[in-house]
Structure 1
Amino acid sequence: MHRTADRVGRRAILDVVVTVLSALGVGILLVQFGGASPLGSAAAVISGLTLVAVGVLNIVRRRPLFSTPADRVTLSRAVLGGGCATVVVLALLGVVPPRSWWLLLLAAPAVLLDAVDGAVARRTGTASEPGSRLDMETDAALLVVFSIPLAMVLGPWVLAVGLMRYVFVAASRFRPALRAPLDYSRFRRIVAAVQSVAMVVALVPVVPVPVATVVVAVALLLLTISFARDVVTLERRSRSH
């Protein structure tokens, strides 16, 4: 039994190391084509590693230490997201346009793989609370990354898409009712999926800005409705108790 636990733990550590090294390699490769200054390149690579750190910390904090096939898919998404963060920093530095094919090349598979990790978890019978949390944290981090270049093109209001979950979490620190678990909601899951897809569509360089604006605005409206429903549900449940 101890041997099995040790083997699982070693596999988790290997997954963490591979993830970090992959993110570092992707970041270094991207800045080679960016033409940024050494300081700017370093900042771009570090930003990518910061996003990956969100997923890595989720793994290393588990007790007992473990990782699953679905976690590896999610960590792959985190590596792609880290590459997106690197490109976004290069865009902020004016080295590449906010909506670039480099960014789309990384963002599209990162979003598509979101439909894979859950299926892998169910197929392998390895679905877990930490795995779901890893998936959710990766989704949230990706939305923040996607919203920054779009805010540069469409306006700062787009940042609300990426920041809304974090505002909700911050509010829950002051309002205990918001910390209660929520029941499964198909509407919430659909809206969450729509956010990433809408952002990727808006990031396509050839999509006209007015069309991108409408796509993201509709996604933001749906997200606002979803969060509002959850807040009302939690508040009503708190009062009834």
Structure 2
Amino acid sequence: MRTVQSGPIIGLIVQVVLLAGLAGTVGLGPAGWLAGVTYGAVMCVLLTRGLRDSGTGRLSPADRVTLSRATLVGGVTALTVDSFDRPTPVGLLVTLTAVALVLDAVDGHVARRTGTTTALGARFDMEVDAFLLLVLSVYVVEPVGVWALAIGGMRYVFVVAIWVLPWMRGTLPPRYWRKVVAATQGIVLVLAAADVLPRPLTVTAVAVALALLVESFGRDVGWLWQHRPARLARRRRPEPSVRVAPAARTGSRLLVNMSAHAVVARGTGPAGIVRTAAGRGHRFHDPVP
């Protein structure tokens, strides 16, 4: 139990240390502190629960990289919330975000090299990515527009849809394009946050990124709809077999019995059977069992 809890708790401690460093260097208001500490506490609780439910018992090397990236996202969250009341050091926010995006490629590489790829690690990595996009989309609302929130909120709309619509709970097949689109969102939002491009070009880049995200999510939703359990059950349902009604079965048995008695009466040879059938106007067939 001590091993399971140590990783997330260390992550929370590092998160508080990072917030203290931001407060001592560039300044951090009460709103930033509250957002950063809340983020770190929620991450600690969810990661502890994930480790317990998975039975892993400890963080893998790749999970530690993801935890470091998640701590940087906590710093970005604090600076973003703090920007509502006071000027934010854009250079520091962009730097923390850029390092977090670089580490996003590192943790997957470490997982493959060490053979520690797990469902928990993949989920942890995905949730950190999704929250970083949400925070960045909030930050770029002022220069771009409120519609930029669609980039960060789309993942959570998808999660709500999974809760509401059972057919969306299927497992999606791996698709490389999905990773390309996710990386594009982060790069475009960082450029928008840095405000290094002309405003029209920034707005256009964010709009294109949003269009790619809509296409990617739309393709996943379409795949889940095409492979929903009800549709697959209809496709796999066998053709109804032709069955003889009970009355027909009774008639067949009666015919066989009558013919048998006639055979006994007229002779048991093939000629007798043929004469009996011809005399009564019946045709013999295999009875239904």
TM bracket (short chain): 0.7 to 0.9
Q: Secondary structure at the match of 2:227?
A: helix
- Aligned partner of 1:182 in structure 2 is 172
Q: Secondary structure at the match of 1:207?
A: coil
Q: Distance in 2 between matches of 1:167 and 1:96?
A: 29
Q: Per the alignment, do residues 114 and 74 of structure 1 end up closer, same or farther by CA in structure 2, a change over 3 Å counting?
A: same
Runs of 4+ in 1 over 4 A off after TM superposition: 33-36
- Aligned partner of 1:216 in structure 2 is 206
Q: Choose which of 7, 14, 20 in structure 1 pairs with 2:12.
A: 20
- Aligned partner of 1:48 in structure 2 is 36
Q: Distance in 2 between matches of 1:35 and 1:131?
A: 33
- Structure 1 residue identity aligned to 2:40: V
Q: Distance in 2 between matches of 1:205 and 1:21?
A: 32
Q: Per the alignment, do residues 71 and 35 of structure 1 end up closer, same or farther by CA in structure 2, a change over 3 Å counting?
A: closer
Q: Distance in 1 between matches of 2:104 and 2:24?
A: 28
Shift of 1:176: 0.7
Q: Distance in 1 between matches of 2:179 and 2:218?
A: 15
Q: Distance in 2 between matches of 1:172 and 1:95?
A: 38
Are residue 168 (structure 1) and residue 158 (structure 2) matched?
A: yes
CA RMSD of aligned residues (A): 1.8
Kept in 1: contact 2:7–2:58 (CA 8 A): no
- Aligned partner of 1:122 in structure 2 is 112
Unaligned runs of 5+ residues in structure 2 are: 234-289
Are residue 84 (structure 1) and residue 76 (structure 2) matched?
A: yes
Unaligned runs of 5+ residues in structure 1 are: 1-5
Q: Choose which of 187, 193, 205 in structure 2 pairs with 1:203.
A: 193
Q: Secondary structure at the match of 1:92?
A: coil
Shift of 1:138: 0.4
Kept in 2: contact 1:51–1:81 (CA 8 A): no
Q: Per the alignment, do residues 51 and 240 of structure 1 end up closer, same or farther by CA in structure 2, a change over 3 Å counting?
A: same
Q: Secondary structure at the match of 1:183?
A: coil
Q: Distance in 2 between matches of 1:123 and 1:203?
A: 33
Are residue 194 (structure 1) and residue 165 (structure 2) matched?
A: no
Are residue 137 (structure 1) and residue 127 (structure 2) matched?
A: yes
Shift of 1:206: 2.6
Instruction: Give the TM-score normalised by the residue count of structure 1.
Output: 0.88
Q: Distance in 2 between matches of 1:179 and 1:216?
A: 29
Shift of 1:180: 0.8
- Aligned partner of 2:236 in structure 1 is none
Percent identity, aligned pairs only, is: 40
Kept in 2: contact 1:101–1:205 (CA 8 A): no
- Which segment is superposed worse, 73-82 or 26-35? 26-35
Deviations 1:4-31 (A, max 9, x none): xx6xx52x43322221111111112223
- Aligned partner of 1:59 in structure 2 is 47
Shift of 1:34: 4.7
- Aligned partner of 1:153 in structure 2 is 143
Kept in 1: contact 2:188–2:206 (CA 8 A): yes
Are residue 231 (structure 1) and residue 236 (structure 2) matched?
A: no
Q: Distance in 1 between matches of 2:128 and 2:181?
A: 16
Kept in 1: contact 2:15–2:74 (CA 8 A): yes
Deviations 1:58-87 (A, max 9, x none): 431123332111011001111110000111
Instruction: Give the TM-score normalised by the residue count of structure 2.
Output: 0.74
